[in-house]
Chains A and B, each alone.
Chain A
Amino acid sequence: MKIKYNSEIISGIVFLVAAAILWVLVPSQIDTLETSAVNAQTIPRIAIGGMFLFSLGLLLQGVFANEKKVVILNRSTFASESFRKEMRSVLYALILLAYIVLLTFVGFLISTALLVVAILLFYGVRKWYYYAIPLAMVGVVYFVFKTLLHVSLP
């Protein structure tokens, strides 16, 4: 399958859809009792409306004006270097999401230490002191925040 695209087309479509959904949600999410023409809904409506119009402009710019990349979707696409790079970003995002879940259950010290190890493994680090420095820093931050700033980290 052959696909022609550029960042304007993709972001134009994404924000066009997002703005349309948000516009529909305004009455249910901003249930104001004000009767004046300018009320709690006005600025969100201006922002969402603006987002819709500018996304439309961006989409049209992408379709008619700018150069497009051509991607042919087949098996080799998924084995390519660029696809692998994109997957690395997705994996990194998943590590961060897993971290916030872990942080909720096991607290700052253990979860951040595990995050540090996960990131260093992600980069393929082998030197032991590369692990020791940020791990020690986690301990230092925990101590400084707790004793000097009186912030009890979870």
Chain B
Amino acid sequence: MFLSGLQVLLQWQNFLIIPLGLALGIVVGAIPGLTSDLGIILCIPLTYGMEPTMAILMLLAIYCGGTYGGSITAILINTPGTSANAATLFDGYPMTKKGMAYKALSMALFASTIGGLISAFALLFLAPQIAKVTLLFGPAEYLALAVFGLSVIAGVSNKSIFKGLIGACIGVFISTIGMDGISGTTRFTFGNLQLMSGINLIIALIGLFAISEIMMKSQYNPRTDKKVFDASSITKCKITKEEYKRCRKPIGIGSLIGCIIGATPGTGGGLAAFIAYNQVKTSSKHPETFGTGEIEGIAASESANNGACGATMIPMLTLGVPGDGATAILMGAFMIHGMVPGPMLFRDQGNVLYAIMIGLIVINVFMYLIGSVFTRFYAHITRIPYEILGCIVLTFCTAGAYSTSNSLYDVYIIVIVGIVAYFLRRMDFQLVPILLGIVLGPLAETNFRRALVLSDGSLSIFVTRPISLAFLLIAAGTVLLFAWKTARAKKISPRPR
């Protein structure tokens, strides 16, 4: 089966379509507001006339390229192209501010490729075994997973834990706006029909990060604050051997977490990246450097989100359950091409399936090659004067927000959320807890309510199931470890009076 799959893959058309899909995915992923989901949807009609292997490989290339592409804007302009790259902001943008954009972009590409490769191998060799483990996940386990994700707040709220917790509450509150998925009751819509569908995650992301960042630059003075970059020095700052060595562990942890979280349906690369970042920071000997431009932070988050790419295909291909939005669309594409994902697929069209799974490895190799050529060009974006860059980013944000659901209403939301986020930033609030609340709020709420229905209202369900208990204990352990490390750091270096 493996060899016949390889035979199906080794056709010149496949090697032409993969770079095309990747280039498209990287562009779409890098534009805030446009996601790889949209790229896949737009390209499905183009694949109608293609062979199934070629068609799925193109769409997979867009998916992987999009997940990597989102890191480019996260690093360069403090705006993640997709929600999966939000954790890359922590250290990516500080590195750009230090003039190390090229190094940050190179690490994002390297970590994305390794994460993607490990994930592709996991898909190829471990798919049925991983699928069996994720089948054990019930509502209690999902809630515990969401709580585990929320424990990241402790790590990103170094300055004030209260501000971090308020941010998370704001995020969870925002996520509840609109129609309740379980009872159908409208919540905080104030009679506005547009608010019935709630606030889209991508829209919130553009407002929180892109618009607030543009607002932060309102006090920028082109005459005095302008940084003059030497064109030749931008690409000189390369990753050293020592840094590659240092990043081995973060990439390993990130890829592993990416595979596990990605294989769990209903989660996705964003959650994987946050958890990986948090774990790497907790286990680091120098956690205080995270958030100030630490290359290990980029390695962890980018290996995790691309590590989730191949893994999200595991439940889809083995059980017929899509892992996230992009795989749900991919599942539709499989069906269009006469393949129904599920256990029977391995038996009926095993050769095509193996061609696709081996193809995912090829996609990641191509991603590294294409990325390495273009990274040096992306790095020069930092040379564009902010007056011009700000205008261009605003133009893309407006068009991207409008295209999410062809509604002006989304443009109003990004501007309002952006202005509010700006004032929060001025009051030393971190935006990431808000984002975590928005991302994890629905996952936590739905599964909290479902679990309580199953247990007749008893909270003991969360501690009597071993996987749920394990996640809750790890979350508690992470928070306590952070508290202890912060207290120790304060003891060692008391504030100067």
* Given A7-B427, A138-B395; A54-B166 close (CB under 8 Å): yes
Contact A40 B388 (CB under 8 A): no
* Given A123-B222, A130-B385, A145-B403; A40-B180 close (CB under 8 Å): yes
With both beta carbons as reference points, the residue of chain A lying nearest to B385 in the complex is identified as: A130
- Indicate whether A119 reaches chain B with its CB closer than 8 angstroms: yes
Query: Tally of A-B residue pairs with Cβ under 8 A?
Result: 179
Contact A11 B427 (CB under 8 A): yes
- Residues of A contacting B166 with CB < 8 Å? 11, 15, 50-51, 54-55, 58
Interface-forming stretch among B119-127, B260-268, B441-449, B474-482?
B441-449
Complex alpha-carbon distance, A151 and B38, angstroms: 11
A11 CB to closest chain B CB (Å) equals 4
Complex alpha-carbon distance, A145 and B392, angstroms: 15
With both beta carbons as reference points, the residue of chain B lying nearest to A96 in the complex is identified as: B415
A27 CB to closest chain B CB (Å) equals 12
Contact A115 B190 (CB under 8 A): no
Chain A, 48-87, CB within 8 A of any chain B CB? 48, 50-51, 54-55, 57-58, 61, 85
Complex alpha-carbon distance, A47 and B398, angstroms: 30
Complex alpha-carbon distance, A120 and B388, angstroms: 8
* Given A57-B162, A103-B398, A133-B388; A38-B449 close (CB under 8 Å): yes
Interface-central residue, B180, B223, B444, by most chain A CB under 10 Å:
B180
* Given A93-B422, A116-B391; A43-B185 close (CB under 8 Å): no
- Indicate whether B23 reaches chain A with its CB closer than 8 angstroms: no
With both beta carbons as reference points, the residue of chain A lying nearest to B184 in the complex is identified as: A40
Chain A binding surface, main DSSP class? helix
Contact B173 A108 (CB under 8 A): no
Interface-forming stretch among B213-221, B230-238, B280-288?
B213-221
With both beta carbons as reference points, the residue of chain B lying nearest to A132 in the complex is identified as: B388
Contact B188 A30 (CB under 8 A): yes
Interface-central residue, B176, B422, B457, by most chain A CB under 10 Å:
B176
- Residues of A contacting B419 with CB < 8 Å? 93, 96-97
Chain B binding surface, main DSSP class? helix
Contact B403 A134 (CB under 8 A): no
- Residues of A contacting B424 with CB < 8 Å? 11
B37 CB to closest chain A CB (Å) equals 13
Chain A, 98-154, CB within 8 A of any chain B CB? 99-100, 103-104, 108, 112, 115-116, 119-120, 122-125, 130, 133-134, 137-138, 141-142, 145, 149-154
Contact A40 B187 (CB under 8 A): yes
Contact B215 A130 (CB under 8 A): no
Complex alpha-carbon distance, A39 and B140, angstroms: 17
With both beta carbons as reference points, the residue of chain A lying nearest to B389 in the complex is identified as: A134
- Residues of B contacting A46 with CB < 8 Å? 172
- Indicate whether A88 reaches chain B with its CB closer than 8 angstroms: yes
* Given A40-B182, A112-B398; A47-B169 close (CB under 8 Å): yes
Bitwise interface map of A from 4 to 47 toward B, beta carbon under 8 Å scored 1, else 0: 00011011000100000010010001111110111110111011
Contact A85 B219 (CB under 8 A): yes
Complex alpha-carbon distance, A51 and B170, angstroms: 7
Complex alpha-carbon distance, A123 and B224, angstroms: 12
Complex alpha-carbon distance, A147 and B89, angstroms: 32
- Residues of A contacting B182 with CB < 8 Å? 40
A22 CB to closest chain B CB (Å) equals 7
With both beta carbons as reference points, the residue of chain A lying nearest to B190 in the complex is identified as: A29
Partner of B183, one of A11, A34, A55, A149: A34
Bitwise interface map of B from 146 to 179 toward A, beta carbon under 8 Å scored 1, else 0: 0000000000000010110110111011001000
